[in-house]
Structure 1
Amino acid sequence: MSFDTGCAALVALKQRESASEWLGTRNEAQTRFDVIDHMLSAVLDWPSESITVEQYAADGYTDYELREIGTIAIVEAKKEGAAFVLPMDTKSGTCGIRALIGDRSNASLKSAMEQVMRYAGSRGVAPCVVTNGHQWVAFLGSRNDGVAPLDGKALVYPSLEAIEEHFVTFYNCLSYDGLRAKRIFSQLSTGTHAPPPPLSSALTSYPGVKRRNNMQTNLQIMGEVMLEDMPQEEKYSDLFLERCYATSGALSSYAEISRELLTSRTAAVLGERGQLEEPASLKKGVNPVLSEEALSAAASHRPIVLLGGVGVGKSTFIQHLVRIDAKPVFQDAIAVTVDYGRGATFSSPAEYAVERIRETLLEDFDIDIDDAAFVEDLYRKDIERFDRGVDGQLKDVDSQAYLLRRIDFLRGLIGNKSDHLRRAINRIVRSHHRQVVIFLDNVDQRDHDVQNLVFLAANELAASWDATVFVTLRPETYYESQRYGAVSGYHPRVFAISPPRTDVMLQKRVDFALQVLEGGGDVRTNGGGLTLASENLELFLRVLEGNFRRNRELLALIDNLAGGNMRRALSFVTQFVGSGHVDTVKIVEVEKRNPGDYFIPIHEFLRSLMYGDNEYYDPQTSPIANMFAVDRPERRNHFLLPLALAYVLSRGDAKDSAGYIEVSDVYSHLQGQGFDLEAVSFALNYLARFRLIEAPLTDFNAAHAERARITMVGAYTLNKLIPLFTYCDAVVVDVPIIDTSVRPRIASAYFIGERLARARAFQVYLDEAWAESGLDESGWSWPAVSAELGRDIGKIEVRTSSAS
């Protein structure tokens, strides 16, 4: 319909113009008002909110900017009388730009095209249009396909009649939908040039496998068992909960972002819905309001929602709540946990809950809801109705037939598993005088749609069952369900679970593992029994224990890169224990000789994270981003990722914004520094992929959200990692080197001397790229980072030379 209405609008405009008494005499402002505005909005279907006028650029003001998230095209308007000399043969609709502006009579067109090209270069925008209302010239004012803009081609329309004659091409290339679909590129571009392949493409068996020695392998296995698996063992579960539980809600003292940003994310999103949440924990333990709500929720027939991000410890909070914090509330209750973790398989979340509750009642509480006596008692009134019915008359005529019909009747009742369980639960509550509490847990490990279905099931269970229902959700899932989902009419009670302090959690885990080891701990694993009587593991854990008490640099690295996810923080530690990139023999020997003396240097821990099990850094598997990645062969783009991240950080400092800024502002700012719209989009997608920025609702990519803000991971990566030799030494294999003369110096390197020389060459390469970039040094500046990197490389050079 837009195409048809646009064509009709063009015909109407052409008829109006042919009869206009002002034709040929309008100044630029009148031309824009009478013709160009109409062409953009009515003919090309551009919404008014996507058209901005008189936007300031480095060397003037643009007449029109056509926008989506950022500017995607610039239109330069001239007065109607400034006629262009255009070829009348427009069968192809295109012609060479140099030939077009080479004609001396086309001085006004040449001037206009050069002017809009300057705007395009400073804005990072490719599609450009020059028009006097009746004549239109469209071209690519900035390119990344190896063709200079003036060596390219232009779409030319000498008149409104020519536009009508070639309206399909005109509309496809310049309309709202057409420009967003980048149709003009297929008409005028020779193809986008990709950056050259990085060093990794020349490495044999990249990313490789880092082999471990026997000690490293054993430490890796036992470390995972002790720190991650053992808390799941029934033998140790109560002890673990008593000794290892770290109260949630304490703010990180190591975060690279402000305290306001740490506390405001959930509240900011919730406030938009006009809702409030209460903390699940207070300084002295569980929130008394939560305990009270647990007692009254069944009567109110609404679920209790426990909100918390991925890995903050929602499952541990529930276990601690039931067994420790609120034990008086739950000690006589029938508490059932339905685990929706990734290991569970089901076709329907509601049916899975029913099956798991039935199993738990039987296995843990010896309540068989299918027992004949239980069923007879449960359906007594239904049986009385059966006896009064037609089939009930068989009782005195044919007792065997009566019994068979009666059995079939009861079988039909219990065949509706959900309703049978509901009635059974209600009966248990009344006859046993025990509260039934149902926890729907690990829902956040499922996709958004499944979480919505579980939330809906929780509301239905709470509404019709005499049970207290808890459901754990990610904040964004709950808010999205409330805003758009099927549960928007429900108003459950909401409690927020904040992550505990990373240092406290890690310290308690290691202390617990050491305590079990000292007692000759034995763990049942899937492969059988595993006795963890390991002197090396105990020594290594003691090294961790000491460092988790006093190594602030190490704790800051783990805390920030985990970003509040305790599961991820723990995996970082188990990755370090027994890593092939760590000299475990050296660490164990130092601890044997001088207990408590080994101070884990940050570069040692960082290497284990960056490489993982690989020989080389691989961005597909590493949790650490390559901040020098580019998507096109332009050296200045090596700085796009840190510049984007620094801008989000600096603009998000306002306390009333919860750290969020408009994503469109990021596009405008970076386009204003000359970065192409597509390059900015690449940067935001890359930052979101590595969790360096986040949207208010993280189920959705921050690059496509309206707002975004920096994360702890992003701030730490920007401020701490980039200037480190260890970081640059790792990511350099993944950086496309645009300058061919530098590539031979960015080669495979194994020995420390070779790697230091390569890092120096990489630093100089980036220094030169910045010097020619023309980028503003008022914000994030590579020269300052380069100086810091140089000092770090220098320190290592001194240590290696003195060691040799």
Structure 2
Amino acid sequence: MSVPAPDLAVGYSAISKLINDVKADSLDLNEADTRHRFIDRLIHECLGWDYTSTHLERRFNGDYSDYELGKPPQIIIEAKRAGISFEIPSETNKSIVRSLSSLFKLCPKFRAAFDQAQKYCSDRGIQVGVVCNSSQIIVFLGVRNDGIPPSEGKCLLFNGLDQVEKNFHRLWQAISPDAEHRKLLLADLASGLPTGVPVKLSSYLPGYPSFRYPSESQQSLRTLSDLLIEDAPNTLAVRKRFYEECYCESGALAKEAMVGKNILSARYASMFKPLPQNPTLQHLRSTPDDKYGLAPEVVAEALGRRPIVIIGDVGVGKTSFIRHLIYVKAAEEVENAIFIYIDLGSQANLGQDMHAFFLQEIERQLLEDHGIDIYEDHFVRGVYHGDLQRFEKGIYGRLKESAPDKFIERQIEHLEELTSNKVMHLQQSIMHFAKGRKKQVIISIDNADQRKLADQQEAFLAAQEFAANWQALVLISLRPQTYFVSKSSGSISAYPQRIMTISPPRVDLVLQKRLQFSLDLAEGRLPLDRLNGITIKLDAIALFLKALLFSLRNNKEISEILSNITGGNIREALELIKGFIGSANVDSEKIIHIMRSEGQYLIPLHEFTKQALLGEYSHFDARSSLALNLFDVRYPDQKEHFLASMIIGFLFTDGPKKSPEGFVHTDDLLAEMQTYGFVADQIEHALRRLTNKKLIETTERITFDEGLQGLVGDMPLAFRVTTIGVYHIQRWAPSFAYLDAVLFDTPIFDENHRKEISAKLESFDIRERYKRTVKFRDYLNECWSQITKPPVFFDWPTLRNTGTPSFVSVKRAIDTRQL
């Protein structure tokens, strides 16, 4: 039997026919007949469910559900024989929204059916439950997120076939395949935002989150770190040498990376299906023989009047690649070209029209860098020499001898008209200059990914125009998200067929080179006028830089955290290093004193971890921290403390549902988590949190927006884990430093544990911190014990034990201090 598409009009026609057929057949149907003659037809013919999306007699933990609808399952239907009629209390308002407790009091048979269906919902993480006996349909929430027990909630009661037909649109909204309409059911039966979740301990801290102000010496170190690491390399005096000494080839796989090489090497895989109309992604790694540092086929495409598009995640080194190209790899070609470098990160003003900015910036660079004034009289006449010859042969040509002044006036008016179109005038000027000097035009549009999506799209359109009509070789860098959205939506349809992807270099090598370069500046081995007169303070920053370099080279844990927690984002890794230098949470004076007296200092992992977790604040703040609180919850469900970790564990573990590039289909992921009793809304909320903090990533590289009720946005096709996510569960989650930080941001359901952990909550004394962190870990242990069937891909007790050495280390320090 064919199933009609989910359509309400079709459904109305089908339900009328079904009800007429049932009324004509007055037999006392058993459960199997009820299912075959009524519920099967209701599901498929009336509600529009496809047969491939429905499952009968599905076994779970020894129990069999009658129907499960959806992939992954969204609705449980418990069928009862037609002869079992539920006694329904009469109500004057005749509303189909009824209290479950009132039905239980009058009808124990319904209570038994409800308990059975609700158990299936709870066990399998399915939010909507239905009990049906062919003449009565009762829809309820088998799992709630508002702190109200399911048995104390409301239901939709369709009491009799006439009421089913009359209110069929409400039944459609509740249990048809249209998930958007199902939100109306939640509005009817739920109380809104999740409640029943205790307030976080941070609410008891005055002024949370409080900013920690650095001392004068710490602030001095911070200022100098900004100068040496960020500002100095961009100065004209050292720029070329900086890119010669500090550039690292992209795509080198980090030795300390905590995900497989197949995932790292396929960073941008699965963005597009392998269809003929979709572009080829080619990794951007040059060889010494490549012109401009680019593969020959890429240059060939560029010369074929298409821009070279370089896509890469934020901070992976797109700008470094382009600038290394300019100052080192293709320095000679750039020197002999008309080179225009447009930096949308630092040059364009917020709110400025992109089109106007491009024209303004090209005109400025032609004047300042190439000495071309596009409005200078002699230059303009050269550009439009052919037009002036045609003008002289035209109707005003006779004035040249009879009225020369009038002829010149008319000629100037003609030139004014030609130059009034700024776009065409710039184009003609550049092509004239390039042809006359026999120079290649190269235009690089950099840092477009630091602008909003609309600006990035406009930047690409400009690049396309320059390549197609200005006879220029054009490079433009974009984020994968921009590329995907633009290509998929059709707003930009003329992307080239070969797209260059850039993967991050090894983070540890980049940092070592950058810190060594900064040290050379601080110790005077490289000239920089801006450092004159501050030699005393430079001694302190030089010692700090030496400690960092020594630790990077000799402490594997430091290299590991920097390689993984930044996810290959070089920009973020540098920010972490700069933040560490001069942080109020770091005892910089101790480090400098030891360096002066002993000549070396190995920075321990916990000092770096503290900076990554807390940043500039006294306590963990979810909005500013690099870390995600894995143990935060949305529902009044203690086992949700482990949902985020279980998702990461599942994505990290190899299995048949995992693609070669490490992606797991969203439906498979939801279905797996539902088997542990989590509902779809719970799981999707966790997925959005994990995605926005980059612990996992999507095929489309999307992130989620903040709505009135939290993060919102459609679920993507698939997810995979990142190095950030793996580091969270394998290194941070069981450690003292992490648990000590996130306990303030975690709702504690058990009142006794909450009281114990809250004792002396404002104290920074390591003894008090140790006590409350141990109690917090004990609380998590008890929550884990409620998971009756733990997953094979994540085990909290095993993971917890790996963090024991960090607790032992803190306890040893406390005991030593007390002696």
SS in 2 for 1:164: helix
Greater mean deviation of Cα atoms: 31-40 or 259-268: 31-40
Partners in 2 of 1:389 and 1:779 — Cα distance?
83
Partners in 1 of 2:60 and 2:528 — Cα distance?
67
Match of 1:314 in 2: 318
Q: Aligned pair 1:699/2:702, yes or no?
A: yes
2:413 is aligned, of 398, 401, 408, to 408
Partners in 2 of 1:54 and 1:286 — Cα distance?
63
2:89–2:106 contact (8 Å) kept in structure 1: no
Partners in 2 of 1:364 and 1:169 — Cα distance?
70
2:70–2:177 contact (8 Å) kept in structure 1: no
Structure 1 residues 323, 178: closer, same or farther in 2, change over 3 A?
closer
Partners in 2 of 1:452 and 1:355 — Cα distance?
19
Q: How far apart are residue 184 of structure 1 and its match?
A: 2.4
1:600 alignment partner AA: I
2:217–2:582 contact (8 Å) kept in structure 1: yes
After TM superposition, the structure 1 = structure 2 runs for residues 339-418 of structure 1, keeping only pairs within 5 Å, are 339-341=343-345, 344-345=348-349, 347-418=352-423
1:523–1:531 contact (8 Å) kept in structure 2: no
Q: Aligned pair 1:35/2:46, yes or no?
A: no
Structure 1 residues 686, 285: closer, same or farther in 2, change over 3 A?
farther
Structure 1 residues 225, 137: closer, same or farther in 2, change over 3 A?
same
Structure 1 residues 433, 593: closer, same or farther in 2, change over 3 A?
same
Partners in 1 of 2:289 and 2:807 — Cα distance?
47
For each residue in 1:209-243, what CA deviation from the matched residue of structure 2 results, as whole angstroms up to 9, or x when unmatched?
A: 11211211100110111111111111110111111
Structure 1 residues 487, 712: closer, same or farther in 2, change over 3 A?
same
SS in 2 for 1:742: helix
Greater mean deviation of Cα atoms: 707-716 or 766-775: 766-775
2:508 alignment partner AA: D
2:781–2:797 contact (8 Å) kept in structure 1: yes
2:344–2:448 contact (8 Å) kept in structure 1: yes
Q: Aligned pair 1:303/2:317, yes or no?
A: no
2:464 is aligned, of 455, 459, 465, to 459
Partners in 1 of 2:719 and 2:65 — Cα distance?
27
Match of 1:773 in 2: 787
Q: Aligned pair 1:444/2:458, yes or no?
A: no
Partners in 1 of 2:102 and 2:272 — Cα distance?
59
Q: Aligned pair 1:604/2:604, yes or no?
A: no
Q: How far apart are residue 51 of structure 1 and its match?
A: 4.0
Q: How far apart are residue 449 of structure 1 and its match?
A: 3.1
Partners in 2 of 1:655 and 1:56 — Cα distance?
24
Partners in 2 of 1:718 and 1:586 — Cα distance?
31
Partners in 1 of 2:201 and 2:703 — Cα distance?
33
Match of 1:661 in 2: 664
Structure 1 residues 132, 654: closer, same or farther in 2, change over 3 A?
closer
2:330 is aligned, of 326, 329, 339, to 326
Match of 1:713 in 2: 724
Partners in 1 of 2:146 and 2:499 — Cα distance?
53
1:662–1:708 contact (8 Å) kept in structure 2: yes
For each residue in 1:40-99, what CA deviation from the matched residue of structure 2 results, as whole angstroms up to 9, or x when unmatched?
A: 34444545565444433223333333337x433212223444443445668122444344
Q: Aligned pair 1:783/2:784, yes or no?
A: no
1:291–1:329 contact (8 Å) kept in structure 2: no
2:135–2:161 contact (8 Å) kept in structure 1: yes
Structure 1 residues 620, 479: closer, same or farther in 2, change over 3 A?
closer
After TM superposition, the structure 1 = structure 2 runs for residues 49-198 of structure 1, keeping only pairs within 5 Å, are 50-67=53-70, 70-87=72-89, 91-103=94-106, 107=109, 109-177=110-178, 180-191=181-192, 192-198=194-200
Match of 2:757 in 1: 746
2:147–2:197 contact (8 Å) kept in structure 1: no
Partners in 1 of 2:51 and 2:424 — Cα distance?
55
2:637 alignment partner AA: E
2:443–2:474 contact (8 Å) kept in structure 1: yes
Q: Aligned pair 1:559/2:538, yes or no?
A: no
Match of 1:421 in 2: 426
Greater mean deviation of Cα atoms: 293-302 or 494-503: 293-302
Partners in 1 of 2:504 and 2:482 — Cα distance?
18
Match of 1:722 in 2: 733
Partners in 1 of 2:346 and 2:39 — Cα distance?
56
Q: How far apart are residue 282 of structure 1 and its match?
A: 4.4
For each residue in 1:225-274, what CA deviation from the matched residue of structure 2 results, as whole angstroms up to 9, or x when unmatched?
A: 11111111111101111111112121111111011110113244356345
Greater mean deviation of Cα atoms: 272-281 or 779-788: 272-281
Structure 1 residues 14, 268: closer, same or farther in 2, change over 3 A?
closer
Structure 1 residues 24, 424: closer, same or farther in 2, change over 3 A?
farther
For each residue in 1:281-327, what CA deviation from the matched residue of structure 2 results, as whole angstroms up to 9, or x when unmatched?
A: 24768688726457655642122122222111111111111221223
1:240–1:512 contact (8 Å) kept in structure 2: yes
Match of 1:731 in 2: 742
Partners in 2 of 1:485 and 1:520 — Cα distance?
53
1:725–1:759 contact (8 Å) kept in structure 2: yes
Q: Aligned pair 1:536/2:540, yes or no?
A: yes
Partners in 2 of 1:441 and 1:219 — Cα distance?
30
Q: How far apart are residue 360 of structure 1 and its match?
A: 1.0
2:311–2:502 contact (8 Å) kept in structure 1: yes
Q: Normalized against structure 2, the TM-score is what? A: 0.91
1:97–1:152 contact (8 Å) kept in structure 2: yes
Q: How far apart are residue 38 of structure 1 and its match?
A: 3.4
Q: How far apart are residue 101 of structure 1 and its match?
A: 4.2
Match of 2:437 in 1: 432
SS in 2 for 1:266: coil
Greater mean deviation of Cα atoms: 52-61 or 156-165: 52-61
Q: How far apart are residue 531 of structure 1 and its match?
A: 4.5
Greater mean deviation of Cα atoms: 751-760 or 419-428: 419-428
1:610 alignment partner AA: L
Match of 1:568 in 2: 572
2:691 alignment partner AA: A
Partners in 1 of 2:149 and 2:113 — Cα distance?
17
Partners in 2 of 1:400 and 1:255 — Cα distance?
76
1:792 alignment partner AA: S
2:513 is aligned, of 508, 523, 540, to 508
Q: How far apart are residue 10 of structure 1 and its match?
A: 2.4
2:631–2:641 contact (8 Å) kept in structure 1: yes
Q: Aligned pair 1:764/2:786, yes or no?
A: no
2:500 is aligned, of 495, 498, 513, to 495
2:663 alignment partner AA: Y
Q: How far apart are residue 541 of structure 1 and its match?
A: 0.6
2:691 is aligned, of 685, 688, 692, to 688
Match of 2:709 in 1: none
Match of 1:581 in 2: 585
Q: How far apart are residue 390 of structure 1 and its match?
A: 3.6
Q: Aligned pair 1:801/2:801, yes or no?
A: no
SS in 1 for 2:653: helix
1:752 alignment partner AA: I
Name structure 1 gaps, 5 residues minimum.
none
Q: How far apart are residue 490 of structure 1 and its match?
A: 4.0
Structure 1 residues 350, 51: closer, same or farther in 2, change over 3 A?
farther
Partners in 2 of 1:241 and 1:51 — Cα distance?
60
Q: How far apart are residue 582 of structure 1 and its match?
A: 0.7
2:340 alignment partner AA: V
Match of 2:3 in 1: none
What is the aligned residue count? 796
Partners in 2 of 1:27 and 1:791 — Cα distance?
62
Q: Aligned pair 1:674/2:672, yes or no?
A: no
Partners in 1 of 2:102 and 2:505 — Cα distance?
68
Partners in 2 of 1:610 and 1:489 — Cα distance?
43
Structure 1 residues 376, 780: closer, same or farther in 2, change over 3 A?
same
Calculate percent identity across the aligned residue pairs. Answer: 32
Q: Normalized against structure 1, the TM-score is what? A: 0.93
Q: CA RMSD in A?
A: 2.8
Q: How far apart are residue 552 of structure 1 and its match?
A: 1.2
SS in 2 for 1:434: coil
1:566 alignment partner AA: I
Partners in 1 of 2:407 and 2:292 — Cα distance?
55
SS in 2 for 1:182: helix
